[in-house]
Structure 1
Amino acid sequence: MRFFAALPLILALAAAPACAAPQKLQDGPVAAAPAADPGAPLWHFETATPGLVAASCPAGVQNLDPLPIDLMVSPLAAADTARLNALMPSGATLAGAWELSSRNPLFGGLSGLARLPEDEGGGLLAVTDEGHFAWITLEGGAPASAALSAMRRPDGQSFASKQDMDAEGLLYQDGIALVSFERNHRIEAFALGHCGAAARAAQVASLPETQPATQGGRQIDPNQGAEAIFLTPQGTLGFGYEGTLGVSPLGEVLAGGTARWTGVRAPAPRLHGLVAKEIAVHPQTGETLPIYLFRAWDPLRGNRIELRWGEGDPSVIRISRPAPVDNFEGLAAEWLEDGRLRLWIISDDNFNRSQRTLLFAFDISL
């Protein structure tokens, strides 16, 4: 969702310089107060998988394909791609930039993003903040077609209220889509690789309704929830709230279906909030690389994003006007055969005619 929090202060600071001093790319400490229940065991993907599949695809549920929809794919104009290319740091190249649209009114609001494995058709999977999954096929590294399916509640029916359907974060592992939701702050699993669009929501965890005590402990705004969701190399599940004004707290999921703050926060630039985080594990070396997508918005400068994958300016892409930019929220990473890392980002158009669904791909040499 759009970053409207603390708008009066944003307006007051809008004329300030956009670039802050370089900062080390690591999750920073939040002072004081130990995390609640420090001895509670953490949730683990491998341990949880059998139960999630059984709950999401119960006996008797048949595999269901998503509904194909028309997809119009428009590569960005040469002037726009030139502006994006001018922003690339050393070692980064623009692999593609497209605007996506459809006559289907349910297409839009794309938030979380994941790259699907080749044995499951490849392509991209996205979630919408109106409670749908969107499959985007790729041909030659470019988007080609799309399909939609409504997310299903545990009883098999579609979500009926915005309170329950506001999907934001997404990760995909071994046939299971893990989705974080705002408003009704939670994480649910959908075993799409096992029964397709018939998959039902399986509860993973309820998420905090209040900020960490070190940030005042106030009630979480409906649109400042878990935009980011990520798996650690150990198989535990982390999440990050968008937060406000450069303060994006991180948390971890517990085995009992609850969650806690970790006492650290994402390294968000000033006035930016965390909207996506992924930990990329190199398939040969096992080395890990945290990747972050941060977003800011104000009525004077519009949308601004920072995509970070390392320390310092050589490892960050900053996009703002006059370059093409919109409300980017989704992030997915994949390792290419030549050893480079491809980063995909997608924008949430909020189902607003004045906004666009943009899909960008960047190739990173590490």
Structure 2
Amino acid sequence: MRRTVRLALLAVIAAGLAPGTWLRGPGLVEDLRPILRMEPLAGASRQAGEIMIEGVWHLTSPNSHFHGYSGLVALPDGTLLAVSDRGRWLRFTPPGRNGPDPQFGVIGGEAISDKRQVDAEAATIDLPTGRLWIAYEGANSVDRHDLSLRDPERILPEGMQSWLGNRGPEAMARLADGRFIILGEGSPEWAGEGYPALLFEGDPVDGAESVSFAFVPPKPYRATDMAALPDGRVLILLRAIEGVIPPRFSARLLIADPAAIRAGGQWRGVEVARFGLDLPTDNFEGLAVEPRADGALTLWLISDDNGAALQRTLLYRLRWTPDTRPADTQKARPASPARLSE
């Protein structure tokens, strides 16, 4: 049934390619004005599980690079960087802060029409160095950039080359110790249960070795983004399709411990929040985490509007103070992928 719903939604989106129906069409003249409007949505502040929703904004822009954001990172200067599945980027100052005007651009500096090469679905950053990694679904690749987002170094990790079609990397996080986790969209039950995933012992662009495992979210959810937490765990954003016309989505946040990953094993998380249809929701695909001075965390969520007239680019600001680790997650960190595979 869930597969039928997803196929129906894809049919609706495909139908939108006809002019004047569902999808926003590109203008005849490219608009490069640095305009970003952030309209607050009233009545959205409330508690969601362990998390407090502090605000929700509807983002709009006439800029031709706007739309389709599927990855989000928090930068050291307090701005947010969103990357899109059209190979574009948006750097902006979030609501409630003073900062630079929004900037729009093309990842790599050159527009490419082949979506398989520019379908950026996940991003992660090393704050001390400013190095940024972006994972591409169609190409099953990982690029490394500096904050100019030009002149990337690219690698096609061997473990991702079996992630065929539109089922490549969807979520990626760089851990504080330099390891990387990448979760694929894949097919459910690809190896008995769950979605394909890789744990790299270091930077994949430098050729670090990896081990494979299965990420098992609650059905019918899929991972769409992931961010490392200060305590070594990761927060995983999940999304499910709940309706077709108009498309409606629900989302959840899970916390999971990389120390529990085992080669060939299954990896699960614990739910900390859910965002149902009683909230302004959309196709949430981007997650960023920022520590606060009082020990709490600011979480940012951004949605991918798919360029569709029936969808929106929403931005959530959340406040969360994580609980201490459950006893069953206090496991020693494996020393290396070689140890994991024993």
TM-score range, shorter chain: 0.7 to 0.9
Matched ranges for 1:1-366 at <5 A: 7-8=3-4, 69-78=34-43, 81=44, 85=46, 87-90=47-50, 92-118=51-77, 122-138=78-94, 140-141=96-97, 145-152=101-108, 157-173=110-126, 174-192=129-147, 196-197=148-149, 199-206=150-157, 208-211=160-163, 220-222=164-166, 224-245=167-188, 247-253=194-200, 262-281=211-230, 287-299=231-243, 302-309=248-255, 316-366=272-322
Ranges in structure 1 where 5+ consecutive residues have no aligned partner: 13-66, 212-219, 282-286
Indicate the percent of aligned positions where both proteins have the same amino acid. 27
Q: For the residues of structure 2 that align with 1:125 and 1:145, how far apart are their CA atoms?
A: 13
- Aligned-residue offset at 1:106: 1.8
- Compared with structure 1, are the counterparts of its residues 9 and 74 closer, same or farther at alpha carbon in structure 2 (3 Å cutoff)? closer
Q: Distance in 2 between matches of 1:259 and 1:232?
A: 14
Shift of 1:8: 2.9
Contact 1:136 1:145 in 2 (8 A): yes
User: Structure 2: which amino acid aligns with 1:305?
Assistant: A
Q: Kindly indicate whether the alpha-carbon contact (under 8 Å) linking 2:144 and 2:205 is maintained by their aligned counterparts in 1.
A: no
Q: TM-score, normalised by structure 2?
A: 0.72
Task: Describe the superposition over 1:277-305 as per-residue Cα deviations: whole angstroms up to 9, x where unpaired.
Answer: 22212xxxxx3222011111154583111
Change (3 A) 1:231 1:341: same
Q: State the Cα deviation string for residues 127-152 of structure 1 (Å, max 9, x = none).
A: 01111111011352499842111112
- The answer to whether the Cα contact below 8 Å between 1:206 and 1:257 also exists between their aligned partners in 2 is no
Give the structure-1-normalised TM-score.
0.68
Q: Which has the higher contact order (CA 8 A, sep 6+)?
A: 1
Give the Cα–Cα distance (whole angstroms) in 2 for the partners of residues 313 and 189 of structure 1. 28
Measure the CA separation in 2 of the matches of 1:306 and 1:187: 26
Q: Quick check: 1:251–1:259 contact (8 Å CA) kept in 2? A: no
Q: Tell me how far 1:342 sits from its aligned partner.
A: 1.2
> Is the contact between residue 111 and residue 169 of structure 1 (CA under 8 Å) also seen in structure 2?
yes
Any conservation in 2 of the 1:239–1:252 contact (CA below 8 Å)?
yes
Q: Distance in 2 between matches of 1:99 and 1:139?
A: 11
Tell me the SS of whatever aligns to 2:73. strand
Q: Aligned pair count? A: 278
Deviation at 1:274, TM superposition (A): 1.0
Distance in 1 (alpha carbons) for counterparts of 2:269 and 2:180: 29
Q: CA deviation at 1:329?
A: 0.4
Please tell me whether the aligned partners of residues 175 and 232 of structure 2 are also in contact (alpha carbons under 8 angstroms).
Answer: no
State the 1:233 CA deviation. 2.7
Q: Mark the runs of 5 or more structure 2 residues left unpaired by the alignment.
A: 9-31, 258-267, 323-342
What residue identity is the alignment partner of 1:209? Q
Cα-to-partner distance string for 1:202-225 (whole Å, 9 max, x where unaligned): 1144352325xxxxxxxx232x21
Which is further off, 313-322 or 69-78?
Answer: 313-322
How big is each residue's C-alpha offset from its partner over 1:39-90, in whole Å with a ceiling of 9 and x where there is no partner?
xxxxxxxxxxxxxxxxxxxxxxxxxxxx761011100122xx15xx1x5224
CA contact (8 A) 1:243 1:274 kept: no
Distance 2:273 2:223 in 1: 15
Q: How far is 1:116 from its partner?
A: 0.2
Is the 8 Å Cα contact of residues 33 and 63 (structure 2) preserved in structure 1?
no
Following the alignment from structure 1 to structure 2, what is the Cα–Cα distance between the partners of residues 344 and 325?
Answer: 14
Question: Aligned AA for 1:247?
Answer: G
TM-superposed CA distance for 1:257, in Å, is 5.7
1:104 partner amino acid:
N
Counterpart-to-counterpart distance in 2, 1:150 and 1:134: 9
Cα–Cα, structure 1 residues 289 and 143, in superposed 2: closer, same or farther, change >3 Å?
A: farther
Per-residue CA deviations over 1:22-46 (Å, capped at 9, x if unaligned) read xxxxxxxxxxxxxxxxxxxxxxxxx
1:276, 1:297 → 2: CA distance?
16
